Amino acid sequence: MGQKIRVEVNGTSHDHEVEPRQLLVHYLRETLGLTGTNIGCETSLCGACTVLVDGRAVRSCTQLAVQADGSSITTIEGLGQNGRLHPLQEAFHEEHGLQCGFCTPGMIMASAGFLDDQPNPTEPEIREALKGNICRCTGYHNIVKAVRRAAEQMGGES
């Protein structure tokens, strides 16, 4: 009763037969072994499972794998290029925008989707973009700083 899907994940094309009820996050974690995407709440309230689908930040815990058929997906594992850290990854590291690390991939992917739309954000815009991502460890200050730093960095490169 599987359904065939073709997705491009982090630049690699995959053909799989998936159960229609399978969530995208389970497809990524279990079928593809991409365990960098974490599951925090299964109800799209914490943002830990955020990935990019065709460049848009989505909660992979409330999207079905079959809905992603034909899409291009980027997970935290595919954000850096050629082994180098993406400016967001570097900035979360540099600004200490992390502690236990469980929210970090989702936080970075949500920021990546946001910076794609808004490369020169104000601080209130950064906060608005991250309001759906929960971090229980840091108190958010360093996360906001990290996104701002990455935006500056990326603006400088383009």
Partner 1 sequence: MDHLDAEAHTRGRSRYVDDEPRPAGLLQAAVVPSPVAHGEIRSLDLTAVRDYAGVVAVLTAEDIPGSNQIGSVLPDEPLLSTGEVHYIGQPIALVVAEDFHAARHAVARARLDIDERPVVVDPKEAFERGHLIADPQSVHMGDVDAAWAQCDVVVEGEATISGQEHVYLETQRARALPEENGAIRVLSSTQSPYVGQRTIAGILGVPLHQIEVDVRRLGGGFGGKEDQATPWACFAALAAHHTGRPVEIVLSRAEDLLMTGKRHAYRSDYKIGVTRDGRILALDVRHFQNSGAACDLSLAVLGRTLFHTTNSYFIPNVRVWGAPCRTNIPPATAFRGFGGPQGMFAVESALTHAAEALGIDREELQRRNLLRSSDSFPYGQNAATVRIRRCWEELDEGFDLEATRQQVEEWNDRHPAVKKGYAVMPVTFGISFTATFLNQASALLHVYTDGSVSLSTGGVEMGQGLFSNLAVVASRALGIEPTRVRVESTNTRRIANMSASAASSTTLLNGNATLRAATPLRERLLTHAGERLGSDPSLLTIENEQLLCDGEPTGWDWPKLVKSAYLHRVSLSAHGFYATPEIHYDEARGRGHPFAYHVCGAALVEVTVDGLRGSYEIDRVRLVHDLGRPLNRRVDLGQVEGGLAQGLGWMTVEDLRYDETGRNLSAALATYKVPDVYLMPRDLEVRFIEEPDTEAGPYHAKAVGEPPLMYGLGVVFALRRALRAFGRDGQLPFVAPMTPEQVLLQLQGDDDPSRLVSKSLGTRVPVPAEAVSS
Summarize as ranges the residues that interact with partner 1 (CB under 8 A).
Answer: 30, 33-38, 40-43, 45-46, 48, 75-77, 80, 85, 88-90, 92-93, 96, 98-105, 108, 123, 127, 130-144
Cβ of residue 3: shortest distance to partner 1, in angstroms? Answer: 17
Judged by beta carbon, residue 37 or residue 71, the one nearer partner 1 is 37
Nearer to partner 1 by Cβ, of 68 and 98: the residue is 98
Spell out the residues 6+ positions from residue 33 whose beta carbon is closer than 8 angstroms to its own: none
| Least distance between partner 1 and beta carbon 156 (Å) | 20
Handedness of CA 116, 120, 122, 123 (dihedral sign): positive
Q: At its nearest, how many Å lie between partner 1 and the CB of residue 81?
A: 12
Which residues are paired to 74 by β-bridges?
52
Token output for 39: 């599951």
The Cα 19–Cα 16 span in angstroms is 10
How far apart are the C-alpha atoms of 85 and 27, rounded to whole Å? Answer: 25
Report, in Å, the least distance between residue 79 CB and partner 1. Answer: 8
Helices of type H across 27-140: 87-94, 104-117, 123-130
Q: 70 vs 116, which CB is nearer to partner 1?
A: 116
Residue (6 or 89) nearer to partner 1, CB = 89
